[in-house]
Chain A
């Protein structure tokens, strides 16, 4: 079915725009960049239509990549139902965001650079999703990390943007380290990296090895999907342009960790401790990030912590064994979180770069399209039935309730906080009186069109795309619960969150300040994100920097390596200084040396040593 064409279209777009983009007009760049992604989307649709119901995975082998002993790693792509879901999300949401970027980036420098990076990202993301073994997946995994770095640091003349890019890249290295160690262990224990081989021969492998592999994969997923304790890079990643935040840091790349865990479900099924760790990390991250989200004033930071929190939900779903619920939430989250980001991008665009919620307000009348579409996303993420977030969040919480009640309750409380901070941002931005300067203007249609499409998906995506049913051949569904109480409780918490936000920010606008004044210590703790960055700085970054300075640089590099090299140089100079006295230029001294040589040779001959 020519699966390779799916990632190759964006790769071609990247090459064309990357090499020739400087000389092309914006219209041509748009055509190449958006056209390649749309072609890829169309090819996904055609492929999936041609593959039938995908009850068995369709694998294509292109060439042998690594052949060493019994290890044989091929460059293979595979499509099963899980891949199909991811392909549709990545290319579908990706296309929409690409179209939006035309409008958002219209006034920015480096236009062609932006689109070529975006296309490169699509290429790597599709490679990651299509991979039929861990190594090809790792190629995509690293590639999206690279593109994330390039796009976070897109405004490379700004120090905070390049710092944020470095931070994202370095923190991700920790996760990638876990992923590569897991791959080594898989090679040692299974003798292959192919998904098919590994997953069918899991049973009977040593328990310790499986747990180790699963924990290391979890470490990789924590880095890529911004989970505790490696989440710190994602809030800073908002330094990139807003479409990047929507595409990479909300809809697709950060969900790669969830996808990888769902893909490795067969391993996790035999590693119960690691699976429990997935659930615990997920629920704690969801709760922890949601509390930080309550007090952020930068609209993109609110969505960033919200993304971390929602990713925590996905991990929770996977960790309690409901992989399909996690993927379900991945899909709906891609819709509404991309919409929230793109909508706030539209707000930022309207306000000429203003991101602080305190300088917004009353925008409902001024940019109505943005307001109504963002409201759709807000009700979807808050879990209001029957919109997208309700179905997926309910599926996760129901599975969590069956697994461990405390996870369910923490998840429900998080759902209430989610509704609160989302509507807090909405109310602060769109209600009340306008607090900023300048004149807001509605965004062009090339930006509003994507918002409308995503709004429709946020409202109806959960109802029309029953992902768990579609994935049931891979991940069997649990029996339908007959008790509706858990669902009703979570919906009630969501609605309570919305009501509380309305009370705080519309009815009693001075109430939040009084509460902040009462609990100023707690507020400062949350507002400063629990000082996690500072703790990491003191505990990890500074010791590394100081150690590098004192030991590695001054001790090993300067004293040992430079000392050795320079010492050899000096010694050679010294020996040369002695030897150069032989080369006096005085013919008679040369003759004397020759004579000496003759005498030595002759005496050796006389002694009988020379034959």
Chain B
């Protein structure tokens, strides 16, 4: 592999993943949380692709396709849920959607 070393990819991936976690934990807006999840998935995708390229194996790329499919499906379902929640509660604050607690 020429140019960019492996560790840079992994560091970038870890940074993206950590940002995703931080966003997931910190933000209260459901859409931001959702985007944080996408960010984590893509961080994982990046790792898969990196290793696939590094090890000259196609498995990682196939996995990343799977992840994309899941992410797309998740986006569709998740956005639908978010819309329904907003319609019913007029809020996107995730802490107020806690009626399962009791």
Contacts and interface: CB of A to CB of B under 8 A. Distances in A.
Interface of A: 583-588, 591-592, 595
Q: Is the interface of A mostly helix, strand, loop or mixed?
A: helix
Interface in B1-34: 21, 24-25, 28, 33
A587 B95 CA distance: 7
B101 A585 contact: yes
A591 to B, nearest CB: 6
12 contacts: A584-B98, A584-B101, A585-B99, A585-B100, A585-B102, A586-B95, A586-B101, A587-B98, A588-B24, A588-B95, A592-B25, A595-B21
A584 B24 CA distance: 17
B94 interface: yes
B25 A588 contact: yes
Contacts of A585: 98-102
Given A595-B21, A595-B25, A588 B94 contact: yes
B102 to A, nearest CB: 7
Contacts of A595: 21, 25
Contact of B24 (A583, A586, A591): A591
A6 to B, nearest CB: 72
Nearest to B27: A588
A519 B20 CA distance: 110
A585 B21 CA distance: 19
A13 B33 CA distance: 82
Interface in B59-98: 94-95, 97-98
The 9 nearest A-B residue pairs measured at CB: A585-B101, A585-B98, A585-B100, A588-B25, A591-B24, A587-B94, A591-B25, A592-B25, A586-B98
Contacts of B95: 586, 588
B46 to A, nearest CB: 18
A583 B101 contact: yes
A288 B24 CA distance: 96
A187 B97 CA distance: 75
A597 to B, nearest CB: 13
A584 B95 CA distance: 10
A450 to B, nearest CB: 78
A595 B21 CA distance: 8
B21 to A, nearest CB: 6
Contacts of B21: 591, 595
B65 to A, nearest CB: 25
Nearest to A592: B25
Nearest to B30: A587
A588 B95 CA distance: 8
Nearest to A587: B94
A588 to B, nearest CB: 6
Given A588-B24, A592-B25, 9 more contacts: A584-B98, A585-B98, A585-B101, A586-B95, A587-B33, A588-B25, A591-B21, A591-B25, A595-B25
B28 to A, nearest CB: 8
Nearest to A595: B21
A445 B82 CA distance: 97
A592 B95 CA distance: 14
Contacts of A584: 98, 101
A549 B102 CA distance: 45
A591 B95 CA distance: 13
B69 to A, nearest CB: 23
Contacts of A588: 24-25, 28, 94-95
B95 to A, nearest CB: 6
B13 to A, nearest CB: 15
Interface string B45-66: 0000000000000000000000
Contacts of A587: 33, 94, 97-98
Contacts of B24: 588, 591
Contacts of B99: 585
B23 to A, nearest CB: 11
